Structure 1
Amino acid sequence: MKKEFKQEIKKKVDLKNMNQAEKDLSTMFGKMILKKSIIPFILILLSFFGTSSFITNIWARFGLTLAVTAGCFYYLKLYRDKLQQLKYYEGKVIYFQKKENQYELLLKNGKLPIKLNIKKGLDENNVKKNQILRLYYNEPEKVAIIVK
């Protein structure tokens, strides 16, 4: 059982066999998860050290810290699962424009065009009109990574 578990871990995080798009995606998602984990980390520290003045029992403080830690872990797990909802799009670029802090991209994939609003992960130097583009897109966070 331990061998199967170790092999499953090696399959998930094999940096040597990743292509450049997967490496970019993992670094970007890692940075996004780190930004989201600042507040839970502060809550965990406050629940243990900040409650010492009004909860004198160490076991009650420890139980509260465990409850806060479990809640923060669940919150970060849900956010990670939200980031892993990727769709693959391939098509010809019809329209590409930068609006305020996001990009607007219109791809023609087959008969129907697909409109994507992208906030992070897209380099405007790599996208040109009438270019065939392949990308992974995350709808909830509006993140796109171009596959070369």
Structure 2
Amino acid sequence: MSGNDAGDENGDGRQKSDEDLSARLKRLENRIEAKRPATPYRSAPGAGAPKGASSLGLAMRLSTEFIAGVLAGGILGWLCDQFLGTKPWGLIVLLMLGFATGVYNVMRVSGSLSRPAVKSAVEKHQDRERS
């Protein structure tokens, strides 16, 4: 005798309880989905990347954004030093600004920065219905 022998007596009851549990679970999923806020066209993890983008593509974009900021700051700083005679201060200041810009761009593309809340048409409609 195994522990499963007792289950043969309640075969119909167990089947009904499984169906009931599945139906309750489906209702719960529908209620959760209805309360979940509408997501923007960007997904959370790789918010700057389209849905089909690979991880390698996202990594390349992030590194390019950072390097471009640093290089632009460095080149502009060098040019300021050459034409204005401010060696080495133009390069130092603009290189630091380029670094900060690169970090900002990486955070913006990756979705780490929160954007101001903009209500979608669906949220506005729901607000009107509530009031």
TM-score normalised by the chain length of structure 2 = 0.34
Greater C-alpha Rg: 2
Q: Which has the higher contact order (CA 8 A, sep 6+)?
A: 2
> Which structure has greater strand proportion?
1
